[in-house]
Amino acid sequence: MAIGAASRLPGQSPSIGDLVRSDGPTFSFEFFPPKTADGELLLWQAIRELEPLQPSFVSVTYGAGGSTRDKTVEVTERIATETTLLPMGHFTAVNHSVAELRHMIGRYAGAGVRNILALRGDPPDDPLGEWQPHPDGYSYAYQLVKLIKESGDFCVGVAAFPEKHSRSPDLETDVRHFVAKCRAGADFAITQFFFHWQDWARLRDAAAAHGCDVPVVPGVMPVTNVRQIQRFAQLSGTEFPRDLAERLLAVADDVEAVRAIGVEVATELSAKLLAEGAPGIHFYTLNRSTATREVWQNLKVSAEAGPAARGGGRLTAAG
């Protein structure tokens, strides 16, 4: 088993959809655009520390209401031109007209970015508030998928929700929305973070029952801050397991202890997902590299030890 990037020649921009369907699971990271000079330093430190792992791709998020639109494109372009990494830019419908959306697609194309993650996005002032579409914009992610696909040779990813989207009335409705995005032309999907592998497997099987075979890459977030993950879970509707919360709260003031537990849990979850056939793991790094590097190393050691006992097999960064 190999985790990592397929090799690419200078000037090439591989399709992430092709990568996640190829042999061996992919390994990818997500970053967010910084808002301060200190944040900028932390981001690029994390990027440089994670680059040697040769991930299959990396993604750059898009702030609520388009608040980091320009910064997202700037960071994505820098990654494309100043590193060996394959970047994917995020793209949301919030507060944007169709004309503005077309302009953003052009900016990505101009930066040589051909992989885009299409998301409807959350309301900018209150992520849990009522959704209000732009009067000249779109209301659904599947419309974004169609727009991007009609605009050129782009590979488009979409979001998936193992525990259903917080706004969906039930899982079946959420699965139908997901399948609609896939039928609109999505090449792959990346999930919201979660803690139970069974939720990912259930989503995969439910989509398959609708005739959808789009690869669903699970998103994993190594916990490094207890209160932060509690807030994220609340906003996303993700279940934060009680036993994990108790373990973390017991050592909440010990940064190293919290990270150790987070790495342990993320390693176990990632290993189980890969064993269950996940096409890869997408790590939410929160612009920090240590925990993600530790999980990667654990997976690498585990995969090398297992096949060695059977007389073959290996796990590498480059795949």
- Which active-site residues does the annotation give? 30
Helix axes 141-150, 171-183, angle to 10 degrees: 10
Residue with tokens 């977030």: 221
Rg (CA), the chain: 19
Q: Residue 66 contacts by C-beta under 8 Å, 6 or more apart in sequence?
A: 92, 94, 95, 96, 124
Token pair for residue 84? 């060996």
Q: Residue 71 contacts by C-beta under 8 Å, 6 or more apart in sequence?
A: 33, 34, 35, 63
* Distance from C-alpha of 173 to C-alpha of 179, rounded to nearest angstrom: 10
What is the 3-class SS of 38-63, one letter each residue?
HHHHHHHHHHHHHHHHCCCEEEECCC
Query: Which H or E element spans position 79?
Result: helix 69-82
* Distance from C-alpha of 265 to C-alpha of 233, rounded to nearest angstrom: 16
